Amino acid sequence: MALADVRAAGPTDAERIRSVMTRSDSLSLTTDGNGYDLISMHTVDSGGTLRLRVPSESLLADEAVLAPRGALTSLIEFTDLAPVPVRDRVRSRVTLAGRLTPAEIQDAPKVLVLRLDMARAAIERDGRTASVGLDELTIARPDPLAIEEAALLTHLDRDHGDVVARLSRLVDRNVLQGVVHLRPLALDRYGLVLRCEYARQHQDVRLTFSSPARNADDIGVRVAQLLSRLRDNSHRCRFEHS
């Protein structure tokens, strides 16, 4: 078997949703009448409430203001993409359903703030879709590495291929047979996920940190601890999906 850690703790689905909402720069919005692709127009507060800042003189603003009972039925979708070049970059999709309610108008420039009163939340990943309770989503927090993850993974992939190659020694040799590309796919406080790409398919393997990282400054130490496991054959890997 492989040498990576079998105690492969990872974020909860609620934490994953909060992380995707926090780090994503864009989203897709569907109302009863229109579809919108919005870039750099949303914020998320500490309780997970999503707000959109849209030009007050826009079709979306008009829809929200003229909606029955002042609430616009909406479906919001986030697509979480791997920041490194892999075959299938979509790591997860988050769907939020609810109503957008005008909250305030801001000047300079004139902007209408819309608050999402959420009714349902779900995440699709690893071939499954999971619904998450709103109470759970409210108390969940985004992963402390969510904002820095893209930069950390890009740096590891671009500048430290030797480290990735050494980390691959923590993976079962049978899994590595036929691998064409090996790249870091995801990073959270619990560990690092490697993408093993073959000619026609792929396999993701999670390498779990000995203890959760507190912030981005901890990652160098956590990776060094992973490499130190090469001397200990007692650890095992966890497969994320294939």
Interatomic CA distance for residues 62 and 174, integer angstroms? 58
pTM of the model: 0.90
Percent with pLDDT over 70 in the chain: 91
Structure tokens given for 86 = 């892999």
Q: Does residue 62 sit in helix, strand or coil?
A: helix
Provide the pLDDT confidence category of residue 240 given band limits of 50, 70 and 90. low
Structure tokens given for 94 = 């988050």
Interatomic CA distance for residues 25 and 9, integer angstroms? 27
Residue 60, CA distances (Å) to 13, 27, 73, 99, 118 in order: 30, 14, 12, 13, 18
Overall average pLDDT of the 173-189 stretch: 95
226 DSSP 8-state letter: H
Structure tokens given for 216 = 């981005």
Assigned CATH topology for domain 149-241: Split barrel-like (3.20.180)
Least Cα distance to 58 among 77, 42, 75, 34 occurs for 34
Alpha helices in 86-196 (DSSP H): 134-139, 149-159, 161-167, 173-176
CATH 2.30.110.10 fits 13-139, yes or no: yes
Residue-level pLDDT at 238: 53
Q: Are 167 and 207 in contact (CB under 8 A)?
A: yes
Q: Are 157 and 84 in contact (CB under 8 A)?
A: yes
195 DSSP 8-state letter: E
Domain ranges within the chain, ordered by starting residue = 13-139, 149-241
Least Cα distance to 195 among 219, 214, 167 occurs for 167
pLDDT per residue as tens digits for the range 14-71: 999 999 999 999 999 999 989 999 999 999 999 999 999 999 999 999 999 999 998 9
Least Cα distance to 10 among 79, 88, 84, 91 occurs for 91
List, in sequence order, every residue forming a beta bridge with 194; answer none if it has no partner. 184, 205
Residue-level pLDDT at 9: 75
